[in-house]
Amino acid sequence: MKSRSILIVDDEILTLTNLKKTLEKDLYEVHLADTGEKALELFTALRPSIILLDLMLPGISGIEVLRKVKEKDAETIVIMMTAYEIVEKAVEAMKLGAYDYLLKPFKINELKNIVRRGAETLSLRIRVQEHLKTQMGRYYFGKIVAESRKMKDVILMAEKIAASDKTTVLLQGESGTGKEMLAKAIHYHSPRAEKNLVDINCAAIPENLMESE
């Protein structure tokens, strides 16, 4: 996926031309499609990071294009373009995973702002994914050294538990036995990996505060 690649989909050639000129001034790589079918072909071949997609298209509708794009890559930023009288369809598109929508006719600044926000959102997602890959490599179960049979069994069990999204885990053991590393390995290999892992030093919390919590 190219971070500054945009696919514009609209059946009005003048609209395509004007939007292309506008966005190329901001150094985006712009590709054009005047039908839903062509849009899907270009999406498969180019994998643009952002799609400006008109709702009303000949042949395959904008909604159907959105649905197929999200099936292939849920991370793609899709911004719908729609006329005021069919805004309900834009709301339906949002439920299907569209990032936002623009009401036609829209101002150039509106277009630039929403595209910029979409690009920033995508950039943040990429940074989060890179961070997760780093953490998963750092806290990989295979890196945890265990000599005893019991400890090896604990690591195997933790690896299985990590795959579950409904398991509460309590790790007990003496200081220096690897509880923190095991906890992080479980977290970063679980479905909750994108959420924050918050470390709390319970020993530093006053007893009366713990009771109130």
Distances (CA, A) of 33 to 22, 27, 78, 204: 16, 19, 14, 60
Question: Which runs of consecutive H residues, i.e. helices, occur in 139-178?
Answer: 149-162
Cα-trace Rg, the chain:
24
Superfamily of domain 2-132: Response regulator (3.40.50.2300)
Digit-coded pLDDT (tens) for 18-29:
999 999 999 999
Average pLDDT over residues 150-172: 82
User: Is the domain covering 139-212 a CATH 3.30.43.10 domain?
Assistant: no
Digit-coded pLDDT (tens) for 38-52:
999 999 999 999 999
Domains 2-132 and 139-212 share a fold: yes
Contact 33, 42 (CB under 8 A): yes
* pTM of the full structure: 0.67
Is the model's pLDDT at 192 over the cut of 70? yes
Question: What whole-number distance in Å separates Cα of residue 122 and Cα of residue 207?
Answer: 44
First to last CA, the chain: 46
Tell me the domain boundaries of the chain. 2-132, 139-212
